[in-house]
Structure 1
Amino acid sequence: MCARYVLEASEKEIEQAYAAKMQEEYVRNWNIAPTNKACVITADHPDIIQQYHFGLVPHWAKDKKVGYSLLNARSESALEKPSFKPLIEKNKRCLVLVNSFYEWETVGKEKLPYRFFLPERPTFSFAGLYSWWKDPASQEWYKSFTIMTTAPNGTVGQFHDRMPVILSKEEESIWLKGGVPISDIMSLCDPFPEVEMDLHRVSKDVNNVRNNNSDLILPENSN
């Protein structure tokens, strides 16, 4: 599962990386957690960066609490799930913008967090799916997303049996493009090359979602 990640680049850096304009106020976040608003680029508006809630709420859901159970979509079975299949087929696909993400090592009773990042690509994206849900009480739209996951590469596999689908620049365009055979779309959901990824251990302060500052991403011995 990918349930915690980081987007802390400046607004200008993000816009330049994706040739897109930020549509809403952007706030750096070193500990993005479920229900938080975060930056996405959707297939229907590839030239703007929008803010959606982390945790997918399908349009048919009774309430938005379901989002906690739909943080991730397993790529191997997504086409079998009513929450995900229509979104893939109708191109409700998105890029989830990222600078790094966290996974944990369990040592005895401790959970030790590690930060994973791409040294040659400071801002990158996860493959995502998005949905709009109308709150029956307020009649307001709740826009949300889920992160596609796949088998881990050797780096992430030391800590978890899943990893987010990380897209190359070329794959980002294909993921958002309409009219591409679904088999080609799903073939993008493979493990990212471990040689292009690095990691370091970070402070256990990451474990508490209330903690949110730039120190969280520093190597533990630098804090």
Structure 2
Amino acid sequence: MCGRYSVNNKKVPKEHRFAALLEGLDFEPNFDARPSQQLPVILPDAPKAVLATWASPEKEPDGKPTLPFNVRQENLLFIPRFRVLLPRNRCIIPVDGFFEWKEVEPEEEEVTAETQAGVALDLFGNPILSKIERSRLKKMKPPKQKYRFNLKSEEPFGLAGLWREGLNRDTGELAPYFSIITTGANTAVAPYHDRMPVILTPESEQTWLNNRLQEKQWYNVLQPYDSRQMAVTAVKD
């Protein structure tokens, strides 16, 4: 799932389609955007982008979030709280990259006579660990490598999303919240995760934000992006 991304308004080319929309919006470049933060989103028929909070803290009666940080494309038409937003509350999230993590296989250490010294071994020559040591190893999480996904052109791009107004607990006023729509991973992302955010082309952005089109027209743009246009880079976390 997409739980981190980057957005840098200071590096949006003046001729880029997002430049005028982001102009004047008060936010700092964010290279680790995460849920609960205020980030720019583009709304239908709005002259400028607005700042909205990624994911709503409000809960449904069943305890599930009203608007989580990700919404699966497959659930849009079948879960009522998402379906009701589709006709008027679609949005675009401008980004320049997103991140996923993949577990790194630990290297097996060679058991030598020195490492075996003072350690009891079983019949197969494996060290016999204490209960405490086994518990510690069980709790240890395998190391993960962070990867960045962006366009080969290195241009900013838009992710498909939903937005809604909700009550801001700090101010008691209504405020916008958003969620990123995910779909099945393309061949660039699949080795790292089985889902990816819906990346829109410049043409499909227009379709996605056009409230005058039929549902089928804008729903059909929710497809895995062309992997040939994407780049993947291992980065330090």
Shorter-chain TM-score bucket reads: 0.7 to 0.9
Gaps of 5+ in 1: 205-223
On the 8 A contact 1:57/1:132 being kept in 2, the answer is: no
Quote the sequence identity (%): 28
Q: Give the distance between the partners of 1:195 and 1:118, measured in 2 at CA.
A: 9
Q: Give the distance between the partners of 1:50 and 1:36, measured in 2 at CA.
A: 13
- Other-structure match for 2:90: 93
- Other-structure match for 2:37: 36
Structure 1 residues 166 and 14, CA gap change in structure 2 (3 angstroms): farther
Deviation at 1:16, TM superposition (A): 4.1
- Other-structure match for 1:184: 217
Question: Based on CA coordinates, which of the two structures has the bigger radius of gyration?
Answer: 2
Q: Give the distance between the partners of 1:168 and 1:80, measured in 2 at CA.
A: 25
Deviation at 1:199, TM superposition (A): 0.8
- Other-structure match for 2:183: 150
Deviation at 1:44, TM superposition (A): 3.8
Q: Give the distance between the partners of 1:137 and 1:103, measured in 2 at CA.
A: 31
Q: Deviations 1:126-173 (Å, cap 9, x if unpaired)?
A: 001100012478431231100011011001000111000000000001
For the residue of structure 1 that corresponds to 2:101, the secondary structure is strand
Gaps of 5+ in 2: 106-141
TM-score by length of 1: 0.81
Q: Give the distance between the partners of 2:4 and 2:178, measured in 1 at CA.
A: 14
Structure 1 residues 12 and 151, CA gap change in structure 2 (3 angstroms): closer
Deviation at 1:15, TM superposition (A): 8.2
Structure 1 residues 11 and 50, CA gap change in structure 2 (3 angstroms): farther
Q: Deviations 1:59-94 (Å, cap 9, x if unpaired)?
A: xx579x9659711111112111122111112x2011
For the residue of structure 2 that corresponds to 1:175, the secondary structure is helix
- Residue-pair matches, total: 199
Structure 1 residues 163 and 176, CA gap change in structure 2 (3 angstroms): same
Q: Give the distance between the partners of 2:14 and 2:36, measured in 1 at CA.
A: 21
Q: How do 1:132-147 residues align onto structure 2 when only pairs under 5 Å count?
A: 132-135=165-168, 138-147=171-180
Q: Which portions of structure 1, spanning 4 or more consecutive aligned residues, are displaced by more than 6 angstroms? A: none
- Other-structure match for 1:173: 206
Q: Give the distance between the partners of 1:119 and 1:57, measured in 2 at CA.
A: 35
Q: Cα RMSD (Å) of the superposition?
A: 2.5
Question: Which of the pair is proportionally richer in helix?
Answer: 1
TM-score by length of 2: 0.76
1:110 pairs with one of 127, 143, 162: 143
